[in-house]
Amino acid sequence: MSVIKIKDFGDYGNWINNNDNKTSSVKSLKVLSPYFDKQIATIPDSNSHHLDEAVNAASNAFLSWSKTNIRDRAQIMSRFKSIIEDDINNLANIIALDNGKTIDDALGSIRRGVEVIDFAISMPNVLKGESSEVSPGINCVMTHEPLGVVAGITPFNFPVMVPLWMIPLAITAGNTFILKPSEQTPLAAIKLAEYLEQAGLPKGVFNVVHGSKDIVEAICDNPIIKAVAFVGSSKVAEIVYSRSTQNKKRAICLGGAKNHMIVVPDADVDSTAKGLLASSMGSAGQRCMAASVAVGVEDIDHIIDQLIDEAKSYELGKDMGTIISKTSLDRITNYINEAEKMGAKILLDGRNASRPSDYSSGYWIGPTILDHVDPKWACATEEIFGPVLTIIRVDTIEKAMEVENNSQYGNAAAVFTTSGEIAKIVSDNASSGMIGINIGVPVPRDPFSFGGWNESKYGHGDITGVSGVSFWTNLKKTTSRWPESSQEWKKYF
């Protein structure tokens, strides 16, 4: 087990024109490590004035970058990927320190993000355009054109992977980019900026502005920024979507989730128990793909028994890191307290888990399993965003689907069964964008695109894959006919 060591990164400014621009005239925000409950850096709480500096840099860089051949843009992505891979352990340590992930979890999340860079490297093939003779002598060519200056706003839980859903596609498509990372976990974004500079990215193509609500609002309102991609809670996703689109921007805003796993007694016991556990407790339950509700159809006690055995062997600090903040820890604990009061049976209680001996502080809670939960209780409907699995018991697949369909969210749903027929019913009828069949975390890997439905996403399309390329580009259709009036060329024959 890797023990995380505390480190002070000092005071950061905004990353503009490939430079760390210190901004003394602004209030700074403390970055705390959830392993230690101690400050490890400060960042500026930027406002619209600081955004203007980044927008100017990105605007100045746009013309030259958008005219750079796509193969050369993709080459920079290829170097970016190699630099990340060479420094992956250092990057994982940084993620662990400000986010609370274990090193293994951080490494896995970086590798998933790098898959999007792989896709961006292949973009010369994807963006080669289409051409056809649409009428005798008339040709139509369709090309993907960059939008201009674009922005991404990201959450705390995947400080590298989520920015990498956006940056490689947007930049390789020829846009210039402004990232506003989570103020809770901004350190990896700064590292990504340094890697991009080392990879040869020209000044102003990638910029980072730090801060919270003010800078997000400034991004939504800025008239030069053409498109905004947001990932975070549904509440903020809705605000950012409405404000950005009111300001005539293109927007895709991914929100929160409450994902359901439908478990049927015929499911393979071992892989289902492991799948339920990994999905609900991985990243300490702080991920939008966490399946936090198991809907058991009839008697699934044999699977739950094994799940509890496996969960009891989970070691804090090794299998699961910390919760992001004291506020989040209190929120998670309150959900468990409330469910207990309502009459849930607590099969496993993470509130009593002891902190790993290597850490004398930090925001820790162990795996928690709540059984016999009413589908209407808060713990069954609201996003807890912690290592809490809620079990709802029903007696038919129809009732299980009703529970899934009634959720306001629609990120992912999964079914564990050995019956193809049941798997098809669930996949046909689930009201979610990503479906797992005997897979608890059904993340579609590139070139398939990532994105949910309902209140898990505001906007059209998905964020990665070909859908992501469409988001960051405009289609240009050029129709041409050459007049035959000049016969000059005939003399060459």
Task: Please list the active-site residues.
Answer: 288
Rounded-to-integer distance, Cα 421 and Cα 120, Å: 37
Nearer CB in complex with ligand NAD: 154/449: 154
Rounded-to-integer distance, Cα 401 and Cα 378, Å: 19
Minimum separation from the CB atom of position 216 to ligand NAD (A)? 3
Nearer CB in complex with ligand NAD: 411/449: 411
Minimum separation from the CB atom of position 301 to ligand NAD (A)? 30
Nearer CB in complex with ligand NAD: 201/231: 231
Minimum separation from the CB atom of position 232 to ligand NAD (A)? 3
Nearer CB in complex with ligand NAD: 244/272: 244
Minimum separation from the CB atom of position 409 to ligand NAD (A)? 9
Minimum separation from the CB atom of position 255 to ligand NAD (A)? 6
Rounded-to-integer distance, Cα 171 and Cα 157, Å: 23
Rounded-to-integer distance, Cα 19 and Cα 140, Å: 43
Q: What is the side-by-side order of every strand in the sheet holding 206-208?
A: 19-21, 14-16, 206-208, 176-180, 149-153, 225-231, 250-254, 457-458
Nearer CB in complex with ligand NAD: 157/449: 157
Residue of minimal Cβ distance to ligand NAD: 232
Query: Which residues neighbour 334 within 8 Å (Cβ) at sequence distance 6 or greater?
Result: none
Let me know: does 371 contact 299? Beta carbons within 8 Å. Answer: no
Minimum separation from the CB atom of position 215 to ligand NAD (A)? 8
Q: Which residues bind ligand NAD (CB under 6 A)?
A: 153-158, 162, 180, 182-183, 212-213, 216, 231-233, 236, 239, 254-257, 288, 383, 385, 411, 452, 456
Nearer CB in complex with ligand NAD: 255/282: 255
